């Protein structure tokens, strides 16, 4: 995944992420804070902060938050949010998730929410998280996941691999900067391989209406139609994962978000 494509896509749609209900108010935000139980003396890094919603959720509970992202326009939105909320302990930094410009063992908490599916090299990102965390520090990850035996039981490995590839193609059709959503088991394996201990994993389903989801990334009518066809004509495993349904004439589906909490 090209990082300049990410900056182009998110730079053009930064304000949509500032107001997006999924990002600003999604269930994973409150759940993340509940699970992490932040402490008043903590130094926090939020990676790929987007419009800053996760950084802003932690800011009232900790000493200091660095909200980092690769896209300047997103950090403009974060600064606007921090000013509106009156946070004096939130600063922004331009940072690539795979080469973090921070010292070793600097942070008590590193968070990253709904972004890692854009990163080309997820093991390198998690290794960087491990490097900048203090011993005993917490890694809090939220990301959309692809189907595997944990999220979508009852299908063969081959059917799930096929459904995972189709799901990622569905995401990529809507957003060219989409890289790959990992399955939950794969996430736990990558985090464990980086030397962190997984303490908790959860799946939170989130209902999405197809049309606004597609237009948030400027999908045109033809693309939205192709997305609709992919949903309606998917394999049984894909449909079991995405749960397409009609509600008051609108096509809806469900994305699964995983929360993983790990300790260094
Ligand atoms: C959906 S937004 C993040 C949402 C935000 N974390 C929240 O909780 O609302 C995805 C963000 O990932 C950022 N991003 C993508 N690739 C990145 C990378 N390699 N390093 C840092 N940020 C990246 C994009 O610029 C974008 O702002």
DSSP string of 75-125?
HHHHHHHHHHHT-SSEEEEE-BTTB--S-TT-EEEEEEES-GGG-S-HHHH
CA distance 130 to 164: 27
Which of 18, 30, 50, 98 for mutating ligand 1's site (highest number of atoms within 8 Å of CB)? 50
Instruction: Select from 192, 193, 199 the least CA-distant residue to 261.
Output: 199
Record the tokens describing residue 61, joined without a space.
């509970």
Using CB atoms within 10 Å of the CB of residue 125, give its burial: 0 to 12 exposed, 13 to 18 middle, 19+ buried.
Answer: buried
Q: What is the pLDDT of residues 96-131, one digit of tens each?
A: 999 999 999 999 999 999 999 999 999 999 999 999
What pTM does this model have?
0.94
Atom of ligand 1 nearest to the CA of 24: 9
CA of 236 to the centre of ligand 1 (A): 31
Residue 241's contacts (CB-CB under 8 Å, 6 or more residues apart) are 146, 147, 151, 152, 163, 167, 256
Report the pLDDT averaged over residues 205-229. 93
Question: Is 97's C-beta closer than 6 angstroms to any atom of ligand 1?
Answer: yes
CA distance 69 to 11: 11
226 — phi, psi (to 5°)? Answer: -65, -35
Helix or strand run (H / E) with residue 251: strand 250-263
Atom of ligand 1 nearest to the CA of 54: 8
Cα angle 185, 186, 189 (rounded to 5 degrees) comes to 90
Residue 97's contacts (CB-CB under 8 Å, 6 or more residues apart) are 47, 48, 70, 112, 115, 116, 119, 125, 128
Helix or strand run (H / E) with residue 45: strand 43-47
CA of 70 to the centre of ligand 1 (A): 7
Residue 247's contacts (CB-CB under 8 Å, 6 or more residues apart) are none
Of 9-18, 127-136, 251-260, least confident by mean pLDDT is: 9-18
Question: Is 122's C-beta closer than 6 angstroms to any atom of ligand 1?
Answer: no
CA of 142 to the centre of ligand 1 (A): 12
Residue 141's contacts (CB-CB under 8 Å, 6 or more residues apart) are 111, 112, 113, 116, 187, 191, 258, 259, 260, 261, 262
Among left, alpha and beta (phi > 0; psi -120 to 50; other), residue 68 is: beta
Report the pLDDT averaged over residues 240-262. 97
Atom of ligand 1 nearest to the CA of 29: 8
Its sign, for the CA torsion 17, 21, 22, 27, is: positive
Three-state secondary structure call for residue 39? coil
- Whether 1 shows a pLDDT value over 70: the answer reads no
Atom of ligand 1 nearest to the CA of 23: 9
Mean pLDDT of the chain: 95
Q: What is the pLDDT of residues 130-159, one digit of tens each?
A: 999 999 999 999 999 999 999 999 999 999
CA distance 191 to 123: 8
CA of 115 to the centre of ligand 1 (A): 5
CA of 231 to the centre of ligand 1 (A): 26
- Whether 22 shows a pLDDT value over 80: the answer reads no
Atom of ligand 1 nearest to the CA of 14: 27
What band does 180 get if pLDDT is binned at 50, 70 and 90?
very high
CA of 49 to the centre of ligand 1 (A): 6
Which of 15, 70, 142, 259 for mutating ligand 1's site (highest number of atoms within 8 Å of CB)? 70
């Amino acid at each position: 995944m090209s990082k300049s494509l990410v900056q182009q896509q998110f730079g053009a749609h930064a304000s949509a992420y500032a107001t997006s209900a999924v990002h600003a108010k999604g269930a994973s935000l409150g759940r993340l804070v509940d699970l992490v139980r932040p402490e008043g003396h903590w130094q926090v890094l939020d990676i790929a902060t987007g419009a800053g919603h996760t950084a802003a959720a932690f800011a009232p509970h900790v000493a200091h938050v660095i909200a980092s992202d690769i896209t300047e326009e997103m950090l403009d939105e974060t600064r606007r949010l921090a000013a509106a909320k009156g946070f004096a302990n939130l600063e922004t930094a331009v940072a690539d998730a795979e080469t973090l410009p921070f010292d070793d063992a600097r942070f008590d908490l590193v968070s990253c929410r709904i972004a890692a599916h854009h990163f080309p090299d997820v093991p390198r990102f998690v290794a960087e998280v491990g490097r900048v965390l203090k011993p005993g520090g917490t890694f809090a990850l939220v990301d959309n996941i692809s189907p595997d035996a944990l999220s979508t039981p009852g299908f063969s490995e081959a059917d799930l691999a096929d459904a995972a590839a189709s799901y990622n193609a569905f995401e990529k059709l809507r957003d060219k900067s989409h890289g790959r959503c990992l399955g939950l088991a794969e996430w736990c394996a990558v985090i464990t391989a980086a030397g962190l201990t997984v303490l908790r994993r959860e799946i939170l389903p989130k209902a999405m209406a197809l049309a606004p989801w597609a237009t948030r990334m400027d999908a045109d009518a033809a693309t939205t139609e192709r997305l609709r066809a992919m949903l309606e004509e998917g394999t049984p495993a894909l449909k079991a994962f995405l749960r397409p349904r009609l509600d008051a004439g609108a096509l809806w589906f469900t994305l699964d978000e995983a929360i993983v909490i790990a300790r260094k």
